[in-house]
Chain A
Amino acid sequence: MGTITFVEHDGTPHQVELEDGSSLMELATNHGVPGIDGDCGGEASCGTCHVIVDDAWITTTGTRTDLESQMVEMSPECGPNSRLACQLRASPALDGLTVHLPEFQM
């Protein structure tokens, strides 16, 4: 189905196979990508799966929902393209997506 790339804050890239139906948080934690914790198990209620979507991709992924804003906007690293990875579903349309990780999770 393709791959997506998580880029750590120090620039280290991690390429992960997309699996239909998984959230990007699950993909990252299942593949040991450092820098994504997923403490609430994907309920948008801990803010520890913050990712920043590449500008070129934001129209494909869409911007964050109100639910995500509640949590992620408390992070000092929150920007316009900030999303919670647990609220992004893997799909073939995301093949080639790059997301950046903040320096710290909340």
Chain B
Amino acid sequence: MFEQTTTKRETMTTNSTLFQRTKVRVTDTVQATVPVDRVIQSVALTLKAKRLAGMMKALRFEERPIPDPADVPLEEIDVSNPFMNRQGQWYPYFARLREEAPVHYQPKSPFGPFWSVTRYADIQAVDSNAEVFSAEPYIVLGPPPFNAEMFIAMDPPKHDVQRRAVQGVVAPKNLKEMESLIRERVQDVLDNLPTDRPFDWVERVSKEITGRMLATLLDFPFEERHKLTYWSDTISGSADATGGTTHQDELFPAAVDLARNFTALWHDKAARRAAGEPDGFDLITLMQTSEDTKDLIKKPFEFLGNLTLLIVGGNDTTRNSMSGGVLALNRFPDEFEKLKADPKLIPNMVSEIIRWQTPLAYMRRVAKKDVHFGGQFIRKGDVVLMWYASGNRDERKFENADDFIIDRKNARNHMSFGFGVHRCMGNRLAEMQLRILWEELLERFDRIDVIGEPGYVQSNFVKGYSDMQVQLTPKPAREQTPVRVEATSGA
């Protein structure tokens, strides 16, 4: 039987009543529902059996130096190599593809054959055409570790129904409610950073703030927030799916743990609401109070799919934008001066950071019928990758596209959030999170210096950083800043 769950919760470091809780014991009355972890375990066993029988080959990647694009025949170019970003080769390769083969075919990558679409306008056309280009069955290049039901990989009309059921949690109206809590949590992180020595920005800032944000969104026990980060990293780091470093055997325990915890989260919330706790603004409350989703727990794959999508979708993306922004301002120091002179540029800079970084390099589609596209003949069933990372550097759309320009006029036109029905559901949350981070950073620090080179994640999908040493220089004490003096004398 599915075990009984006890979740310990403690009062948080915030004075919001929503998060002031004492221990809640869950006396779970809904245990008759499907034991989700069992389902996942059985999938794992099937896959393992298949692999032992030689029916599936698990991928492993070894890093070798990647030659310059000019030295590789066009038809051999394989931009799915998970070391492209680390070796700084993606942009030169994409530049060549955009010029010489904007719709390019790679017949024999480790992940199988695929098309690459690399120009801005072409990517937008594919992304906006769900009738010809299907997001099913998955949106990464290789098969994901397990088939959770996620609407990011569903076509309309099923997609629309599922998205509508949960999007309220990241809708701007709800974000307004969460903003002050998110800000407090950012302030707390920044106030505890060392200023007398370099530290790892990825670990201490990007991962930490993102973990806190996701915990806020799900009302997940705050002190266990690192689990969210761990699950998400493990899932999106799958070698077979994205060329990452996690392998099937590590994936399944994580998936089972996730399933068990999220199921408990649901029942725990139900128990607390039944005991009279006022409703919060989190996803589970939202689901339990909406007619369409109040029994979602009875459809465990859909329930888990939605939650997993939120943590995986919101994790690497936001994290790497937080690190990427710091790196960009170090690579283009004049822009930092511009920013300090005019903090009102923050919102536009946030869009420019997301363009420059492009945290997710591509989304995958499958042609539903034969189609002529960009001078090529794409056959029904062919895999098509829309390389946002390339489209965002397309000079046809962005002048001096490789430069980071915080007051770039059309920064908002970046394609990092995709276009069409799957356009990122968390875009406003991501923007808000980054805006708050930069507002709070400018309050506190004069310099944010990257020391040495950052480490880059091994992946053909997540464009991000594994570590980045940063040295902070605090602003002179606040009382001494002219802004404050003027404000006081004017009052």
Contacts and interface: CB of A to CB of B under 8 A. Distances in A.
Interface string B135-169: 00000000000000000000010001001100110
B172 A104 contact: yes
A29 to B, nearest CB: 10
Given A45-B423, A106-B423, A74 B128 contact: no
A46 B417 CA distance: 9
B171 A45 contact: no
Nearest to B421: A70
B421 to A, nearest CB: 6
B413 interface: yes
A45 B164 contact: no
19 contacts: A38-B412, A39-B412, A39-B413, A40-B124, A43-B124, A43-B128, A45-B127, A45-B128, A46-B423, A70-B421, A71-B420, A74-B160, A74-B163, A74-B164, A74-B167, A76-B171, A76-B173, A103-B172, A103-B173
Given A40-B124, A104-B173, A45 B160 contact: no
Nearest to B419: A45
Interface in A36-55: 37-41, 43-47
Contacts of B127: 45
Nearest to A48: B412
Contacts of A76: 167-168, 171, 173
A106 B423 CA distance: 9
B412 A37 contact: yes
A14 to B, nearest CB: 19
A73 interface: yes
Contacts of A43: 124, 128, 419
Contacts of A104: 171-173, 428
Q: Interface centre among A40, A47, A71, by most B CB within 10 Å?
A: A40
Given A40-B419, A76-B171, A104-B171, 8 more contacts: A37-B412, A40-B124, A41-B413, A43-B128, A45-B419, A47-B423, A70-B420, A74-B164
Contact of A74 (B124, B413, B417, B421): B421
A70 B156 contact: yes
Interface residues of A, number: 18
Interface string B111-125: 000000000000010
Interface in A9-65: 37-41, 43-47
B309 to A, nearest CB: 16
B239 to A, nearest CB: 33
B171 A40 contact: no
A45 B130 CA distance: 11
Contacts of A40: 124, 413, 419
A38 B412 CA distance: 8
A38 B171 CA distance: 18
Contacts of A71: 420-421, 423
B123 to A, nearest CB: 11
A39 B414 CA distance: 8
B160 A73 contact: yes
Contacts of B164: 74
B124 A45 contact: yes
Interface string B412-432: 110001011101000110000
Contacts of B156: 70
Q: Interface centre among A46, A47, A73, by most B CB within 10 Å?
A: A46
A71 B418 CA distance: 13
Contacts of A73: 160
A47 B418 CA distance: 12
A40 B168 CA distance: 22
A45 B413 contact: no
A105 to B, nearest CB: 8
A74 B173 CA distance: 15
Nearest to B130: A70
A44 B128 contact: yes
A71 B130 CA distance: 12
Contacts of B421: 70-71, 74
Interface string A73-106: 1101000000000000000000000000001101
B472 to A, nearest CB: 33
Nearest to B171: A76
Q: Interface centre among B156, B417, B423, by most A CB within 10 Å?
A: B423
A76 B428 CA distance: 15
A74 B160 CA distance: 7
B195 to A, nearest CB: 37
Contacts of A46: 419, 423
Interface in B348-393: none
B418 to A, nearest CB: 9
Contacts of B413: 39-41
B392 to A, nearest CB: 13
Contacts of A37: 412
Contacts of B417: 39
Nearest to A29: B412
A103 B477 CA distance: 39
A38 to B, nearest CB: 8
